[in-house]
Amino acid sequence: MRPRTIVITGASDGIGAAAARQLADADHRLILVGRSPEKTRAVAAETGATHFVADFARLDEVRELAAQVAAEVGEEGIDVLANNAGGIFGDQTPTVDGFEKTLQVNHLAPFLLTNLLLPVLLRSDAAVVNTSSVAHRLFGHLDVDDLDNRRRYSANKAYGDAKLANVLFTKSLHTKFHAEGLRSVAFHPGTVSTNFASESSSIMRLVYRTPLKRLLLISAEKGGGNLRWFIDGIPDETWFSGAYYDERVLSNRVNPQTDDAALAEALWQRSAELVGL
């Protein structure tokens, strides 16, 4: 395969860092994005990548990131954008932008970044790979009039809703831009042994922070390998655009709301309104 330009968010740790390390053995141009300057710099140095730092809990930093990445790639464009940053958090404390943090970090920020980079992505018939979660099916039920879950909040529901939004966003990208050459996919990377739930008040943190993780979780390397599989894959051959995968398997075990085209469009319009597009 020809060298490609690959942007990975959430690349300072976990499966993003693992995928970057695995991709470093190929002749790709890697651009890594992370929240931690020290960790992101270290992974970039190890993999020979360019790196940028952005906190997705601050949308101004996402806007700046989009401008930096667009300037960095220039006319070359982006071949793969892996929207991998995310996490499950604690209470309902809003971000500086006024949104519930789980919603913003997992959905609104990557929605904004992808839209700001659309001209660059369309120029190179790019693939957008969205890291979702089986939590979209277990906990998610979206109400576009209450995306912040002000009426009924729990850490699990907020995360499930955000991961459901990832799947709906993937379908909308396919619907709106597949004819122009863009491909999109959402996937559950496996339940991975990382510090993913370290800031959470959810019971899920007990799985991640106790000996249970040895029995229930897969390694970051295996989860990163799943992310790499989608990055390396040939859209509409290796994986199907607009679809959801459980690890590397096309899955029909999805939240019923994923088939609601009207909801997908309403979510797109509401998200665009919230982030000022």
User: What are the CA-CA distances from residue 185 to residues 68, 82, 129, 216, 274 (Å)?
Assistant: 24, 10, 5, 25, 23
Choosing from 159, 208, 244, 245, which is the catalytic residue? 159
262 burial via Cβ count (<10 Å: 0-12, 13-18, 19+): exposed
DSSP calls for 30-54: EEEEES-HHHHHHHHHHHT-EEEE-
Residues 109 and 263: their CA atoms lie apart, in Å, by: 19
E strand or H helix that includes residue 275:
helix 261-275
Return the residue matching tokens 């999109």.
184
- Other CB atoms closer than 10 Å to residue 3's CB: what's the count? 10
194 Ramachandran zone, left/alpha/beta (phi>0; psi -120 to 50): beta
What one-letter code names the amino acid at 242?
G
CB 59 within 8 A of CB 65: no
* Catalytic residue status for 159: yes
Active site positions, annotated: 159
